[in-house]
Amino acid sequence: MLGRVNHIAIAVPDLAAAAAIYRDTLGARVSQAQALPEHGVTVVFVELENTKVELLEPLGADSPIASFLAKNPSGGMHHICYEVEDILKARDQLRQDGARVLGDGQPKIGAHGKPVLFLHPKDFQGTLIELEQV
């Protein structure tokens, strides 16, 4: 079911400062900031040879990242994203196996313009999992 790791997401309290560290200190390519109101975040992607690191900043007080940062003020790993070939087939199989899909269970369009779903961290050893259809 799982393909390659698409990205690892890190919640940060200051997106511009975090992007500057990756770009200026570590010498990485960093994308332009992109607001994703449907997900309540602003993101940049650190583009690596074999994957990406997504830096997330809250977009509004109701953002799930705002609540994450309230518990982790310095930021930290938020989720890991895996690629799947067919997101609906993956969702249905996971539900059949007892995994919980967050939200209404319908894929939303993610930062890469592709359908994404999130899986409950309590079902995956405390790790929030994002699935992205490739």
- Which residues are catalytic, by number? 130
Question: Which residues share a beta bridge with 41?
Answer: 36, 58
Q: Is 29 exposed, middle or buried (0-12, 13-18, 19+ CB in 10 A)?
A: exposed
What share of residues in the chain are helix, strand, coil (percent, to 5)? 25, 35, 40
Residue length of the chain = 134
Q: Is 129 exposed, middle or buried (0-12, 13-18, 19+ CB in 10 A)?
A: buried
Sign of CA dihedral 83, 90, 101, 2: negative
